[in-house]
């Protein structure tokens, strides 16, 4: 009974107390709620005997999870030349069925196309129709097991998974490429990358993998992200029980579905000026432009659109920019939706830099003082003009820039447009039909950014200390990062002793 109520943070004491891990990880991963998908290498280099070791390793992990529809859900993909769904997150309702399937798991054989496997896992498994609960803010975990180099590229596929908020563990066996594992895995690598000498050694890391997966789930629910550009501290609190922090996050409809009064408070207090910059060039096409229109309708409905709260403006661009409507240039929500219905598909080339300059001079120059400014760029192509200087000049006004890349547009140029870290501000999807799947994630990230710009120094001196103190991540690295960003905000001397006091008591007098 006592062990079941221990915090996962207590596990950090194990090396000091010299207590066996099994005493703390009994038959379950406590009361963890998560969606976990395994991506297993079934290529020729594995061999039948070693594949049996993989079966046993998978079984040892699943055995420790509390598999039920409302706790942990498990999916499995095997890949070689092509990926194959063994079972999805919604296929099995209990652990016994999964263990039975794994015991008889067929060895696929073939080449090693890990990139294809990662892409398949994202599009076919971490989706609602396959049982993913990402829309309910349930942590999403991917565990990749491979023994060699990939015959295709993995970096962009792994980045897209991470951009969707999926934590990736990479387990390399025997001759696995360490660089490849790091390209796949989430950071920090010492928490998400494993490398073992042979297949028999897999069992030796099973308890450690379970512990780190459960810890990652907990930290995903209470995550502190430090944003380096624009002095933005992103304090993401998905765990609904952390009400103290949630009260500091305002502006999004349905953000806290468990607290309608808090939700009402959010809706009534947020202020922001949001400009949507939409690529309307010839490469889009009429049908895809309609997908953009649908996305715009649903996205603007996420906010409390009032002249003194959230205002939205929209510009299109191709060879040149087009002013569709300025910030707040609509009488009510119905009028705004009518303006979206009236958008004309423009066609032409793609001059994104010119469009960024246009919204800086014609939209954000007229924006409200001391109200967070957000630009959201949706594009599918490589710009014909320079984007770096226009983007930087826009950021110099205090505007945070989000970018949605559709298709195969030049990622390097888009990196220069978006704020950093790019995992927070840059989205990449394959086609316009996938826009709807980004709505919740984009909305939440916009809301956090708006809130943190609004909170300013008070947020640093109150919210962040409470975040760090309550999440048990107090360490000198955290203190130094906070010290650096506080100094960037205000001309006061902030030393580690002051920060320790703040972290303990949650305020400064």
> Around Cβ 135, how many Cβ atoms within 10 Å?
12
Residues with Cβ < 8 Å from 477, sequence gap 6 or more? none
> Using one digit for the tens of pLDDT, what is the confidence trace for 217-267?
877 765 433 333 333 333 333 332 233 233 333 334 433 333 343 344 445
pLDDT in tens, 429-443: 888 988 988 888 888
206, 351: one domain: no
Helix, strand, or coil here: 449?
Answer: helix
Classify 142 as helix, strand or coil: strand
In a domain, 496, yes or no: no
Same domain, 148 and 74: yes
Nearest of 315, 292, 318 to residue 385 by alpha carbon: 318
**Same domain (yes/no): 167, 266:** no
Question: Would you state the pLDDT for residue 244?
Answer: 29
What value, to the nearest 5°, has the Cα angle with vertex 37 and ends 35 and 41?
170
* Cα–Cα distances in angstroms (integers) from residue 105 to residues 115, 116, 141, 308, 428, in the given order: 22, 20, 21, 59, 33
Let me know if 63 is exposed, middle or buried by CB neighbors in 10 A (0-12, 13-18, 19+).
Answer: middle
| 212 shares a domain with 288 | no
Q: Kindly calculate the radius of gyration of the chain based on its CA atoms and give it in whole angstroms.
A: 24
Tell whether the model's pLDDT for residue 118 goes beyond 90.
Answer: yes
pLDDT in tens, 309-324: 999 999 999 999 999 9
Helix ranges restricted to H, 277-350: 286-300, 333-341
Distances (CA, A) of 79 to 41, 151, 167, 312: 5, 12, 19, 45
pLDDT of residue 191: 84
3-state secondary structure labels for all residues of 78-120: EECCCEEEEECCCCCCCHHHHHHHHHCCCCCCCCCCHHHHHHH
Residue 149 has pLDDT above 80, yes or no: yes
Please check whether residue 248 lies inside any domain of the structure. Answer: no
Which whole number is the average pLDDT over 469-474?
A: 38
pLDDT for position 407: 86
Q: Is 70 exceeded by the pLDDT of residue 357?
A: yes
Do residues 288 and 413 share a domain? yes
Please state the φ and ψ torsions of residue 474, each to the nearest 5 degrees.
-70, 120
Q: What is the CATH number of the domain that holds 438?
A: 3.40.50.410
Mean pLDDT is lowest, of 146-155, 165-174, 373-382, 457-466, for 457-466
* Number of domains comprising the chain: 2
Is the pLDDT reported for residue 403 higher than 90?
yes
DSSP annotation string for 357-386: HHHHHHTGGGSPTTS-EEEEEEE-S--SS-
Of 53 and 12, more confident: 53
Rounded-to-integer distance, Cα 298 and Cα 435, Å: 10
Q: Does 475 reside within a domain?
A: no
Looking at 426, 441, 456, which one is the last position of a domain? 456
Query: With b meaning 16 or more CB within 10 Å and e meaning fewer, what string describes 364-375?
Result: beebeeebbbbb
How many angstroms separate the CA atoms of 346 and 281, rounded?
6
- Residues 196 and 286 placed together within one structural domain of the fold: no
Residue 211 falls inside a structural domain: yes
| Torsion angle, alpha carbons of 156, 158, 159, 160, to 10 | 90
Q: What is the mean pLDDT of the chain?
A: 77
- The range of the structural domain enclosing residue 365 comes to 261-456
Q: Going by C-beta distance under 8 Å and a sequence separation of 6 or more, which residues neighbour residue 300?
A: 312, 333, 336, 337, 340
Confidence band (pLDDT; 50, 70, 90) for 455? low
Structure tokens at 337: 């939706």
Residue 137 has pLDDT above 50, yes or no: yes
pLDDT top residue among 26 and 368: 368
Q: Which of 438, 456, 474 is the last residue of a domain?
A: 456
Q: What pLDDT is stored for residue 267 in this prediction? A: 52
State the pLDDT confidence band at 385, using cuts at 50, 70 and 90. Answer: very high
| pLDDT tens, residue by residue, 74-115 | 999 999 999 999 999 999 999 999 999 999 999 999 999 999
β-pair type (72-79, 83-87): antiparallel
Alpha-carbon distance 442 to 316, whole Å? 19
**What mean pLDDT is predicted for residues 461-477?**
40
| Angstrom distance (rounded) from CA 256 to CA 265 | 11
Q: What is the pLDDT of residue 221?
A: 62
**Residue 16 domain-assigned (yes or no):** no
Tell me how far CA of residue 249 lies from CA of 271, 284, 368, 417, in angstroms.
12, 36, 20, 26
Q: What percent of the chain clears pLDDT 70, i.e. is strictly above it?
A: 73
Quickly count: other Cβ atoms within 10 Å of residue 178's Cβ.
12
Same domain? 75 vs 217: yes
- Return d(Cα 222, Cα 139) in angstroms, integer: 11
Task: Give the pLDDT of residue 36.
Answer: 96
Residue 491 lies in a domain: no
Based on the fold, state whether residues 345 and 447 are members of the same structural domain: yes
User: Domain check: are 314 and 218 in the same one?
Assistant: no
What is the mean pLDDT of the segment spanning 194-211? Answer: 84
Pair (291, 386) in one structural domain: yes
**Is residue 347 included in any domain, yes or no?**
yes
Contact, 37 vs 77, CB < 8 A? yes
Identify the weakest region by mean pLDDT among 3-12, 267-276, 309-318.
3-12
Residue 473 lies in a domain: no
| Per-residue confidence band for 132, with pLDDT thresholds at 50, 70 and 90 | very high
Q: Which of 171, 202, 223 is the last residue of a domain?
A: 223
Residues 201 and 273 in one domain: no
Same domain, 297 and 215: no
pLDDT bin (cut points 50, 70, 90) of residue 474 is: very low
Tokens at 67, concatenated: 């598999």
Closest CA to 185 of 152, 141, 239, 123: 141
Closest alpha carbon to 93 in 124, 122, 72: 72
Looking at per-residue pLDDT, the higher value among 486 and 94 belongs to 94
């Amino acid at each position: 009974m006592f062990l079941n109520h221990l915090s996962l943070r207590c596990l950090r004491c194990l090396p000091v107390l010299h207590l066996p891990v099994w005493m703390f990880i009994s038959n379950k991963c406590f009361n963890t709620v998560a969606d976990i998908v395994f991506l297993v290498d079934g290529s020729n280099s594995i061999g039948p005997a070693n594949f049996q070791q993989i079966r046993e390793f998978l079984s040892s992990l699943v055995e420790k999870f509390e598999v039920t529809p409302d706790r942990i859900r498990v999916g499995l993909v095997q890949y070689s030349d092509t990926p194959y769904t063994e079972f999805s997150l919604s296929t099995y309702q209990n652990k016994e069925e999964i263990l039975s399937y794994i015991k008889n798991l067929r060895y696929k054989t073939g080449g090693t196309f890990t990139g294809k496997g990662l892409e398949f896992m994202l599009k076919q498994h971490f989706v609602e129709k396959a049982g993913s609960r990402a829309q309910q803010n349930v942590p999403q975990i991917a565990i990749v097991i491979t023994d060699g180099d990939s015959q295709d590229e993995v970096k962009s596929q792994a980045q897209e998974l991470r951009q969707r908020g999926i934590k990736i563990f990479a387990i390399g066996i025997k001759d696995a490429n360490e660089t490849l594992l790091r390209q796949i895995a989430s950071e920090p690598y010492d928490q998400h990358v494993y490398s073992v000498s042979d297949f028999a050694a897999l069992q030796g890391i099973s308890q450690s993998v379970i512990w780190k997966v459960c810890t990652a789930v907990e930290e995903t629910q209470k995550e502190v992200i430090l944003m380096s550009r624009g002095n933005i501290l992103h304090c993401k609190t998905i765990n609904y029980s952390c009400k103290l922090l949630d009260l500091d996050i305002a502006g999004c409809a349905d953000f806290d579905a468990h607290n309608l009064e808090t939700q009402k408070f959010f809706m009534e207090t947020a202020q922001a000026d949001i400009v949507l910059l939409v690529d309307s060039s010839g490469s889009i096409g009429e049908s895809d432009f309609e997908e953009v229109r649908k996305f715009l309708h649903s996205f603007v409905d996420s906010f409390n659109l009032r002249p003194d709260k959230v205002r939205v403006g929209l510009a299109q661009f191709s060879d040149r920019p087009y002013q569709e409507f300025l910030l707040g240039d609509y009488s009510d929500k119905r009028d705004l939706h009518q303006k979206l219905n009236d958008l004309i598909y423009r066609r032409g080339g793609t001059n994104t830099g010119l469009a960024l300059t246009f919204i800086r001079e014609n939209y954000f120059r007229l924006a409200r003082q001391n109200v967070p400014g957000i630009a959201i760029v949706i594009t599918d192509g490589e710009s014909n003009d320079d984007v770096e200087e226009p983007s930087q000049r826009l950021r110099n006004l205090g505007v945070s820039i989000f970018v949605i890349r559709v298709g195969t547009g030049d990622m390097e140029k888009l990196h220069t447009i978006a704020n950093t870290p790019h995992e927070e501000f840059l989205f990449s999807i394959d086609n316009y039909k996938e826009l709807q799947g980004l709505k919740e994630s984009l909305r939440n990230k916009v809301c956090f950014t708006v809130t943190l710009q609004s909170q300013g120094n008070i947020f640093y001196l109150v919210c962040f200390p409470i975040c760090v103190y309550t999440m048990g991540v107090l360490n000198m690295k955290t203190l130094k990062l906070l010290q650096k960003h506080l100094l960037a905000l205000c001309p006061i001397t902030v030393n580690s002793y002051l920060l320790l006091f703040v972290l303990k008591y949650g305020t400064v007098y």
